[in-house]
Structure 1
């Protein structure tokens, strides 16, 4: 039950949660006496809470006579807010009254997600569960699969190839061409590609798309990381590719991007080990509920 800690008669908040709880109980019970019995309060205390709440909001909340008790229109409106307030307080009390999560989570993630919105999710998890140790491994999704099969990862956030069934989908992101600002690509020449090394989902998708549509290309630079590709593109060596949701590093589509072949979507997924600890499962559920498309980093 809520207590009036922090509230005094002379210094009460307009929506004192104790008064709000009393009000909601009276509104449901339609009786001051029954509400007092449920709350363990005397009828006079219940009346006092309602009187103070009505005074603080400057509204009549109930219409009372000797035989009935009914909400006024203002009372009905306040009841909607009261229920939301009490639900929020109950969730907060549940979180902070329960045992704190402890342990370790071994998370594997692709670099493009690590450079994009994923850190915001990890920060939220860390703020709520400060006693959990996060061990983060960044790598190509194919390598992350290998490490999970070897038992060295609990969770994976990465990409999967078209037709694969492993993992739970998070979102799809369309691939887009990126280059140094002001770049105009000469489409009469083989496209100068900057790509990550094999094996790479993104690399395979790009080269398959170009081959199917009859485009010529030459790989002018390869890197073991997306950061290396971004650096090469910023240096003007050629054009690279990333999902539009995760674009970063100061790159932009080429001036004549509409003359380049359209690229398909790639699917981002989560994959979990068969047996998860409570901290790992808690992080997994947070990631799956988060919209990782929401934060684009330029």
Structure 2
């Protein structure tokens, strides 16, 4: 007969909080336990799972590969636990949610999810910030945001709950003429954008000259510039617009590396209203793009 191992939610909550705060003392203070009690709970969880989850180097706390694997599952278990309790107790949803949306990735899609949530929960005040992904992740790290959708260069990444990958494609105006004798005109987000980096890395690898002819923070401005024939850009298929055409290897354009898109939050900071919105985003994303459960 199969032997079942049960993961206690209090142990998982301590584990996730330690990872989010990177500090045993702060975790104890937040959860109402002493620092030694937190250490014992982490040790108990490691005994139950049979693997080492956290390594400590002085004051630094790092996840082991097994810890990275468990973290995504732990976040999901806690989210379901807390949502179940809230629903059984018929909790009302109120307060303010600070949400980040990336200007460089399908902002309209996620904006519609959040707008629907707002209509269904009028007592919840929303503060939505649209910015570049690195700025959004920095704001989450400093607790200026409660949750954010963001594009990342690689996965797993800190505080990610679910993520999926997208492969950008080369796009230009339908009648755009490419002259191989001149530098390729690029339409791009400012330096630091993952799409921009993938274009430049691919062109540099082939020794091809390029020039950024149009630069903007917002996706709509880039889309307009491409349609107007200002140059070539890297977009996801869902951000392609009428009047554009794809450029492939047959046109002399190499395949671009994938980018990763994720839902990021710190579970320890989540209100019941935030958990409800996270549940809605997670459910809707499963129809939009098959998400990958995180390992970090």
When normalised by structure 2's length, the TM-score is 0.60
Asked if structure 1 preserves the Cα contact closer than 8 Å seen for 2:165 and 2:260, the reply is yes
Give a deviation string over 1:191-231, Cα, whole Å, max 9, x none: 21010112212212221222223332111111122222222
Give a deviation string over 1:258-290, Cα, whole Å, max 9, x none: 412211221101110341111112212221222
Higher relative contact order (CA 8 A, sep 6+): 2
Cα distance in 1 for residues equivalent to 2:93 and 2:235: 36
The corresponding residue for 1:106 is: 98
- The unaligned stretches of length 5 or more in structure 1 are 1-93
Q: 1:137 aligned to 129, 143, 146, which one?
A: 129
The corresponding residue for 2:254 is: 261
Number of residue pairs aligned between Structure 1 and Structure 2: 201
The corresponding residue for 2:282 is: 288
Cα distance in 2 for residues equivalent to 1:98 and 1:291: 26
Q: Residues 180-259 of structure 1 correspond to what in structure 2 (within 5 A)?
A: 180-244=173-237, 246-254=238-246, 258-259=250-251
Q: Call closer, same or farther: CA 1:255–1:172 in 2, change over 3 Å.
A: closer
Cα distance in 1 for residues equivalent to 2:232 and 2:151: 21
The corresponding residue for 1:158 is: 150
Q: 1:279 aligned to 266, 270, 273, which one?
A: 273
Instruction: Give the RMSD, CA atoms, in angstroms.
Output: 2.7
Cα distance in 2 for residues equivalent to 1:216 and 1:293: 40
Secondary structure, aligned partner of 1:253: strand
- The unaligned stretches of length 5 or more in structure 2 are 1-85, 290-296
The corresponding residue for 2:73 is: none
Cα distance in 1 for residues equivalent to 2:247 and 2:254: 14
Larger gyration radius, structure 1 or structure 2: 1
Cα distance in 2 for residues equivalent to 1:126 and 1:96: 22
